[in-house]
Structure 1
């Protein structure tokens, strides 16, 4: 066994990879039948089965955790010491505290990510609490796990950890350990009995308001593969099970469960999300919104895939909002500017609310995947980057712009024929949470095109009259359709014997042409 002494201090050591070859302990076996009922399961079904196996563990006090760590993380070469998790340094068990060359308790799943504090069960769960150099613990703070760019230099010397804004990267030897602890926490805590519902997500800066999320999923999946389970992890899992909590980390016993649940990456990522409407109502400036549409046959889950809506003001300053929640296949997702104003104008709450959606008609909106406007991939665009929209073909001041029905895929370049921009529009002219509709004229109440009750949407009365996102059929009815003022649709079909009248001086915009 080779040990490198740092600056002649007897308290602190690095252990090289040869450690694993000499780390010989009497490892116990996985208890017979412990994972019964998991054969053949994948995805949420497997995650639920594992949750039911490992929940309800024996709980420890926070003081008891300190004593337990002296056993679970004992230095096998010097049993008077513990191994500090992020650095591999060996500190005396007696040197517990917050001072120089002391160790304390590190919550790998930071307490603020779910706001559970030091309270049982989450805040005292040994499966994610490790002894750590006190100053390194402070430096890690509550950051998400991903690849950092700057090596962290502790007051006692350099570490093999790296950091960036909102990011902490541990040393290579424990990257897989970190991943498996995070996956354990997301499986053990599913919101039962007042416990937090912890989730792994594919972005960083996950908990600005103490949200119960941790990232970055794609990085943790890679670490689970690159740093496989070793004997140290197996032994620690056994000690926790047999001596303390009576539950196990299933991803140490079966690391293949990780890919079975989380899919091993984003190879099936659905990026078929488009901007479908941008609104700046002339009579209600604070009722602005941006509508997105999922033009695919699968749900987009923003906790698994990172999406940002970004606004560039007048071709200059950028603002970004990371999307949260889900948008189902063929459904819309609305981000409003002001919650109360939006509700007062449209009668329901948007999916999200953000000051980012403050565009005054000459600002561009852009959808990014995998990050924001500086780190992500541009997927869809309304407007032109670095161009002030004033006087441009995409300006929609005091009005709205709606994506044409026939547009089925996003585009990272704004294309004029894909949009219909009204000359002016009030809040009553907007169509939030409503896109890609197939409507049929029924003329039930009048001949006015712009009256919603004159249109059928799948056999029921339409919520709105047609806009650019609608495919329209005019049928032969007693009240024939008549356009007065300004109207639009994406696709128009007029049945034989049916009549459509466009009043002199009025306009019907069809399909962006």
Structure 2
């Protein structure tokens, strides 16, 4: 078969409706400095990726969703071609609506060297201009009348839509307020960073975290962990000695900073969903060409990869070994349209057309 193979990289998000994940208790019987020391000892990663590696991993493995990477603060989605270097492709020319990496705990406040600089539990994709405008401003709730700039999607405005006010992030040159839906996320990232890298943070600025802590407690309580945040936490942990952000595992862990939030976690309903992520490439293939399936962290377990014709007859199948990071399966020999499906027990997690030419 002669001709150039057009590679179409896709991510399939098979969705199973569920409530929030059960929490994992973290040292429920400890308090104060004893609790903080236990968290440091048990959740500090000894090895992390380099900043360059972490940046690419954040984009491609953690925050890649429906062919794009989204800014934590504005929701701006930028398409990512998985054939390209993720960091270079998203940054492009460094324009205002391009994407770069945000240190939720600023580099000038302690995240500039060592593991603290590239610990992915405190890193997020961000619009270039919003990242720059935030700078090292502390997180805080800003009175609307004091807000100078409002950010959403690709927009920057001084005149926000009052009917959609909660979807904007805000800046007033001395503080930064994220959009409502991610306030808990940045709060838990901040709690994590300060706890794990406390000495480094205090050496840079001993007052910075304390100036935010009351607000962070409120945001943590207001915006609880959803399943997407949980899954991303586990993906990051798989690159960092298996160490998750414990403030995501156990919502009551913030008692070391927020005594009023010491009660045990309650499992709450959520509009988020449990996601099984698979990178499939290519889906336009030559006869007998190899198709690659890369499961993400949450896809660990035993799965069957099926290739079926349009009448549902199985042409080829393969079982994914537990913890395998990549599965390869040959495309059918004959030209035509087929279905590639991933099945667990009797449940089809997702199905997608592939074309053989």
Shift of 1:109: 0.2
Separation in 1, partners of 2:173, 2:63: 32
Among 219, 223, 234, the residue aligned to 1:238? 234
* 2:120 maps to 1:120: no
Query: 1:335-390: per-residue Cα shift (whole Å, max 9, x none)?
Result: xxxxxxxxxxxxxxxxxxxxxxxxxxxxxxxxxxxxxxxxxxxxxxxxxxxxxxxx
Separation in 1, partners of 2:188, 2:71: 18
TM-score (norm 2): 0.56
Shift of 1:165: 4.0
* Aligned residue pairs, count: 224
Change (3 A) 1:251 1:72: farther
Query: 1:54-87: per-residue Cα shift (whole Å, max 9, x none)?
Result: 1243221111011111234434323xx1121111
Separation in 1, partners of 2:74, 2:123: 15
Change (3 A) 1:30 1:226: closer
* 2:193 maps to 1:185: yes
Match of 2:208 in 1: 213
Separation in 2, partners of 1:228, 1:29: 12
Aligned pairs (5 A) from 1:8-407: 35=26, 38-78=27-67, 81-93=68-80, 94-97=89-92, 98-114=94-110, 116-117=111-112, 119-148=113-142, 149=144, 150=147, 152-154=149-151, 156-158=154-156, 160-191=168-199, 196-198=200-202, 210-211=205-206, 213-214=208-209, 215-264=211-260
Shift of 1:261: 4.2
Q: Is the 8 A contact 2:187 2:217 kept in 1?
A: yes
Query: 1:114-159: per-residue Cα shift (whole Å, max 9, x none)?
Result: 3x42x33001110001110101101111000111231624594147
> What's the secondary structure of 1:91's corresponding residue?
strand
* Structure 1: gaps spanning 5 or more residues: 1-20, 200-206, 266-513
TM-score (norm 1): 0.40
Q: Is the 8 A contact 2:45 2:241 kept in 1?
A: no
Shift of 1:213: 2.9
Shift of 1:223: 0.4
Query: Of the two, which has the highest radius of gyration?
Result: 1
> What's the secondary structure of 1:121's corresponding residue?
helix
Q: Is the 8 A contact 1:221 1:259 kept in 2?
A: no
- Taking CA–CA contacts closer than 8 Å with sequence separation of 6 or more, which of the two structures ends up with the larger relative contact order? 2
Query: 1:185-221: per-residue Cα shift (whole Å, max 9, x none)?
Result: 1111133xxxx1549xxxxxxx7xx557323111111
**Whose helix proportion is higher, 1 or 2?**
2
Separation in 2, partners of 1:92, 1:162: 25
Query: 1:305-353: per-residue Cα shift (whole Å, max 9, x none)?
Result: xxxxxxxxxxxxxxxxxxxxxxxxxxxxxxxxxxxxxxxxxxxxxxxxx
Shift of 1:42: 1.5
Match of 2:314 in 1: none
